[in-house]
C-alpha cells in the first residue's frame, strides 16, 4: 500500500474518531445539562417558596459529598448555579406556557432528568439551536448567564463558543472585554467571527461605537470640491490634529499615512487613513464617510483590506482590521450586513463640533489644558 494511501486512510479514520468523540462528548454534556436543569427546577421549587429553611442548600451539598465520595460539581455555589440555569431557561424550553410555572412550583418530590434528552421543548424555543445549546458545558453556560440575561446575546455567545471551540477561559476573556455586559459602547463589528479569541477580545474592547471629533470645524477649512466637503474636511482636520485623533482612537496606534497609495492590476486606490496598532500587531485602515452607513461601503473597505494584506502586510503581522467611520448608522442593520464577511472590520459613527450641544461642550476638558498635554507628547520621529 502506497504511503499516500496510508495517509488518506489515516485521515479518514482520524476524522471518524474525532467525529465520534465529539458526538459522545455532546451526549454527555446534554445528559449533564438535563440533570442540572432538573435539579435546578427541584431546588427552585423548594427553596424559593420557603419549603426549605435557611442554609438548606449548604447542608444538602455537604451531605451529598459525604454520601457520594469523589462527587464533583455539587458545591453550594454550583447548586445555586443549577437553580439559576433552570429558572432562566424554563421560560424558553418547557412544553407549554403554563409548564414553566408548574415545573418550578409543583415538582417538589421528583426530579425530571429527561427534559433535554426527550426534547420536550416549547415552540418558543424554535430560535434556539438545540445542538449548540447542548454542545457547550454547564460552565460555559454559567459564564454567559453571569454576564448577561439578554436572550439574543446569550444565543450569540453560545454560537460563538461552538464556532471557535472556546474553552471557558477564552469565553470569559471575551465577555470581560465587553465591560461586564455593557455592550452599547462596542462598535458594530465581526471581530469575534473573524479573529482568534485573544485578539478579538482586545479589538472588541479597543474600538468604540462613536467617536467625538470635536476639533473638526467645517467653516474653518477650505476644500477643493463641494461634493467632497464633509469627507475631505474630516480627513484634513484629522491630519492636522493627528495627535488628538490617536488619543481619541486609543493607545498603541502609530500613524502610517493618509490617502495611502495602493495599486493592483493597474488600478489605483487611496484609503483615507492608515495606522498600525502595536497591541494587535496589525494595520488598521480607516475609511471616512460623510453621511449614513450604506452597505456598499463595505465592499470598498474589504477591497482596501485585501490589497493591504496582499501587498503591504509583513509576514509576522496579523491581518488588517478595517474601520468605517460614518456620520450615522443603524447598528442592527450593520450587524446584519457584516455577519458573512470574513475580514475583521467595525463600523462606528462620529460627532463633530457642530453636533455638540451646550451640555456636551461644558463636559469637555479645558482646551488650553489639552493643548498643553498634547504639546508634551513627543513626536513619533523624535
Would 380 be classed as within a structural domain? no
| pLDDT on residue 263 | 92
**Residues 246 and 368 occupy one common structural domain:** yes
**Lowest mean pLDDT segment, chosen from 36-45, 76-85, 118-127:** 118-127
Predicted TM-score (pTM) above 0.75: no
Which residues is 258 bridged to in the sheet?
273
Distance CA 282, CA 126 (A): 40
Q: Which three cell numbers stand for residue 336?
A: 446584519
Give the mean pLDDT of the chain. 75
Q: Look at strands 273-277 and 267-269 and give their pairing.
A: unpaired
Q: Provide the CA 357 distance to its chain's centre, in angstroms.
A: 32
Residues 6+ apart with CB under 8 A from 59: none
- Give the pLDDT score at 283: 95
Shared-domain flag, residues 252 and 295: yes
* 4-35: pLDDT as tens digits: 566 666 666 667 766 666 666 667 777 888 88
| Confidence class for position 284, pLDDT limits 50, 70, 90 | very high
Co-location of 28 and 143 in the same domain: no
Q: What is the mean pLDDT of residues 355-375?
A: 51
Q: 90 vs 152, which has greater pLDDT?
A: 90
Residues 17 and 100 placed together within one structural domain of the fold: yes
In whole angstroms, give the CA distance from residue 28 to residue 261.
Answer: 55
The verdict on 314 and 371 lying in the same domain is yes
Instruction: Indicate whether 57 pLDDT > 60.
Output: yes
| 98 and 140 fall within a common domain | no
Q: According to the model, what pLDDT value does residue 339 have?
A: 78
Least confident of 100-109, 162-171, 175-184: 100-109
Task: Select the more confidently predicted residue: 318 or 204.
Answer: 318
Does residue 78 form part of some domain?
yes
Q: Alpha-carbon distance 52 to 34, whole Å?
A: 23
What number is the average pLDDT over the span 368-380? 49
Q: In this structure, are 149 and 105 located in the same domain?
A: no
Binning pLDDT at 50, 70 and 90, where does residue 247 land?
Answer: low
The mean pLDDT value for 270-274 works out to 90
Domain count, the chain: 3
Q: In CATH, what number is assigned to the domain containing residue 339?
A: 3.40.1350.10
340 pLDDT higher than 70: yes
Task: Assess whether 221 and 353 both reside in one domain.
Answer: yes
User: Residue 305: which pLDDT band, with cuts at 50, 70 and 90?
Assistant: very high
Query: Each residue of 118-175: pLDDT tens digit?
Result: 455 555 555 677 778 888 899 999 999 998 888 878 887 888 788 777 888 888 877 8
Q: Residue 192 falls within a domain, yes or no?
A: no
Name the H helices within the chain.
Answer: 3-47, 56-67, 76-93, 99-105, 130-135, 138-145, 151-164, 168-177, 191-194, 197-206, 229-240, 242-249, 296-307, 331-338, 358-363, 367-375
Reply yes or no on whether the pLDDT at 304 is more than 50: yes
Domain stop point among 106, 126, 146 = 126
Name, in order, each residue with C-beta under 8 angstroms of 163's C-beta and a sequence gap of 6 or more: 193
**Proportion of the chain above pLDDT 70, given as a percent:** 65
Residue 382 lies in a domain: no
Residues 75 and 102 in one domain: yes
pLDDT digits (tens, 9 = 90+) for 183-228: 444 558 888 778 887 787 778 767 777 777 665 554 444 444 444 4
Q: What is the pLDDT of residue 380?
A: 42
Q: Which long-range contacts (CB under 8 A, 24 or more apart) does 20-25 make?
A: none
- Domain containing 6 equals 1-126
Q: Which residue would you say has higher pLDDT here, 231 or 373?
A: 231
Q: Which residue has the higher pLDDT, 376 or 202?
A: 202
For residue 279, give the DSSP letter: T
Buried b (16+ CB within 10 A) or exposed e, 214-237: bbbeeeeeeeeeeeeebbbbbbeb
Residue 369 has pLDDT above 80, yes or no: no
Q: At 267, which helix (H) or strand (E)?
A: strand 267-269
Question: 65-79, 194-208, 278-292, 330-344: which range is least confident on average?
Answer: 194-208
Q: Are residues 113 and 152 in the same domain?
A: no
State the cell numbers at 183.
455592550
Does residue 116 sit in the same domain as residue 141?
no
The pLDDT value recorded for residue 150 is: 82
Residues 225 and 355 in one domain: yes
pLDDT at 300: 92
Q: Are 283 and 313 in contact (CB under 8 A)?
A: yes
Within a domain: 288: yes
Amino acid at each position: 500500500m502506497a504511503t499516500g494511501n496510508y495517509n488518506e486512510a489515516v485521515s479518514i479514520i482520524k476524522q471518524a474518531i474525532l467525529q465520534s468523540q465529539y458526538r459522545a462528548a455532546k451526549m454527555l454534556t446534554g445528559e449533564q445539562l438535563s440533570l442540572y436543569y432538573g435539579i435546578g427546577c427541584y431546588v427552585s421549587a423548594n427553596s424559593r417558596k420557603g419549603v426549605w429553611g435557611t442554609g438548606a442548600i449548604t447542608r444538602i451539598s455537604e451531605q451529598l459529598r459525604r454520601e457520594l465520595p469523589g462527587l464533583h460539581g455539587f458545591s453550594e455555589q454550583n447548586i445555586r448555579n443549577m437553580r439559576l440555569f433552570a429558572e432562566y431557561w424554563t421560560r424558553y424550553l418547557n412544553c407549554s406556557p403554563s409548564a414553566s410555572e408548574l415545573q418550578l412550583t409543583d415538582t417538589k418530590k421528583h426530579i425530571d432528568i429527561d427534559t433535554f434528552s426527550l426534547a420536550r421543548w416549547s415552540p418558543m424555543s424554535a430560535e434556539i439551536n438545540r445542538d449548540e445549546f447542548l454542545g457547550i458545558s454547564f460552565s460555559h453556560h454559567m459564564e454567559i448567564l453571569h454576564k448577561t440575561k439578554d436572550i439574543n446575546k446569550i444565543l450569540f455567545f453560545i454560537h460563538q463558543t461552538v464556532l471557535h471551540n472556546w474553552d471557558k477561559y477564552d469565553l470569559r476573556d471575551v465577555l470581560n472585554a465587553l465591560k461586564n455586559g455593557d455592550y452599547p459602547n462596542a462598535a458594530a463589528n465581526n471581530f469575534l467571527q473573524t479573529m482568534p479569541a485573544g485578539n478579538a477580545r482586545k479589538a472588541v474592547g479597543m474600538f468604540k461605537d462613536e467617536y467625538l471629533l470635536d476639533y473638526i470645524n467645517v467653516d474653518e477649512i477650505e476644500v477643493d470640491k463641494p461634493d467632497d466637503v464633509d469627507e475631505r474636511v474630516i480627513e484634513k482636520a484629522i491630519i492636522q490634529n493627528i495627535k488628538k485623533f490617536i488619543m481619541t482612537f486609543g493607545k498603541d496606534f502609530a500613524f502610517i499615512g493618509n490617502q495611502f497609495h495602493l495599486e493592483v492590476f493597474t488600478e489605483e486606490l487611496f484609503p483615507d487613513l492608515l495606522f498600525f496598532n502595536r497591541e494587535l500587531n496589525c494595520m488598521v485602515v480607516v475609511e471616512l464617510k460623510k453621511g449614513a452607513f450604506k452597505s456598499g461601503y463595505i465592499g470598498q473597505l474589504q477591497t482596501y483590506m485585501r490589497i493591504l494584506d496582499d501587498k503591504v502586510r509583513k509576514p509576522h503581522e496579523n491581518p488588517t482590521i478595517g474601520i468605517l467611520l460614518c456620520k450615522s448608522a443603524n447598528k442592527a442593520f450593520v450587524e446584519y450586513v457584516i455577519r458573512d464577511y470574513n475580514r475583521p472590520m467595525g463600523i462606528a459613527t462620529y460627532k463633530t463640533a457642530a453636533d455638540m450641544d451646550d451640555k456636551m461642550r461644558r463636559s469637555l476638558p479645558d482646551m488650553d489644558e489639552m493643548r498643553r498635554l498634547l504639546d508634551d507628547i513627543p513626536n513619533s520621529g523624535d
